[in-house]
Amino acid sequence: MFNVMAASCEIMPTVPEIAAHERNGPPITMLTAYNKPIAEIADSIGIDIILVGDSVGNTALGYETTLPVTIEEMISHTAAVVRGVKEALVVTDLPFLSVGVEESVSVMNAGKMLKMGGSDAVKIESGPHTVDITKRMVDIGIPVMAHVGLVPQRIRQMGGYYQQGTDENSAQKIMELAIEHENAGAFAIVLEHMPSDIAKKITQKLEIPTIGIGAGPHTRGQVLVVDDVIGLSGSMPPFARKFGNVKVEISNAIKKYREEVISGDFPP
Ligand code: KIV
């Protein structure tokens, strides 16, 4: 857990523990996972939060964007992840159009992630339309992680995965949105692809922890997409880092298997 406490005791991170993360404590580590084996590895290593991101669309499912991802796909991947996790907090993204159209439908969709997927909380790509919905979910008992800055579900509106908050006006809007979602009851907030000084200001202003991706070193946690981290992605955003190269390992293993079947070395 927050590796904060891990040194002395093994405690499953809960929503209140994440919300109460100490400002000067060790950073919160968050990573996406979409299936049981990867979730199991991330969990056993001590990742604090496993995010079943709708980036499952661009990664495991091979869609061009996250827009086609459905509630059913998110529930199925969440349930797989939950089966691999013993310690980490599991947070599931609400996919495009599952939230924000109708309040009651949004709440029901969020509830399904907890009820059918077994997730601990939901993440919502936030906008002015998600403030009241966040409050309603929190009132009912559904923990919400907010997400501001670059929100990939707005790809058609943005025209590309551009850095956000690069002028004073848009930086101010991101700050206001972050404050509104904290006031609505979000327990943490993702800050994606924004200048590091803006992320720093938001982090200083909010009580809840900020978790950055492409937002510099001043947030209280970091998150990346697991396929980027392990070297499985075809292409990566400029702010991601490849920490390994499983593509080569997988490719070598499959190549060897094929060769040995053809040569007759396998089966023995
Ligand atoms: O879907 C996702 O993986 C995300 C992270 C990049 C924060 O939202």
Q: Does 6 have pLDDT greater than 60? A: no
Distance CA 148, CA 114 (A): 22
Residue with tokens 């499983």: 246
User: pTM for the full model?
Assistant: 0.95
pLDDT of residue 1: 52
259 tagged catalytic: no
- DSSP secondary structure code for residue 128 in this structure: G
Ligand 1 neighbours, Cβ below 6 Å, are: 32, 51, 53-55, 93, 190, 192, 213, 223, 225
Query: For the segment 69-84, what is each residue's pLDDT rounded down to a tens digit?
Result: 999 999 999 999 999 9
Which listed residue (64, 168, 192, 249) is catalytic? 192
User: Average pLDDT, stretch 193-204?
Assistant: 98
pLDDT of residue 36: 98
**What is the residue-averaged pLDDT of the chain?**
95
**Helices 103-115 & 71-84 angle (0-180, nearest 10):** 30
Tokens encoding 1: 């857990």
> For 15-263, CATH number?
3.20.20.60
Tokens encoding 69: 């991802």
pLDDT of residue 2: 56
pLDDT of residue 12: 75
pLDDT of residue 11: 56
User: Average pLDDT, stretch 1-14?
Assistant: 55
Please state the domain extents for the chain. Answer: 15-263
Ligand 1, residues 190, 219, 228: which to mutate, most atoms within 8 A of Cβ? Answer: 190
Nearest residue to 51 (alpha-carbon basis) of 250, 222, 266? 222
Q: Does 4 have pLDDT greater than 80? A: no
Query: For the segment 200-245, what is each residue's pLDDT rounded down to a tens digit?
Result: 999 999 999 999 999 999 999 999 999 999 999 989 999 999 999 9
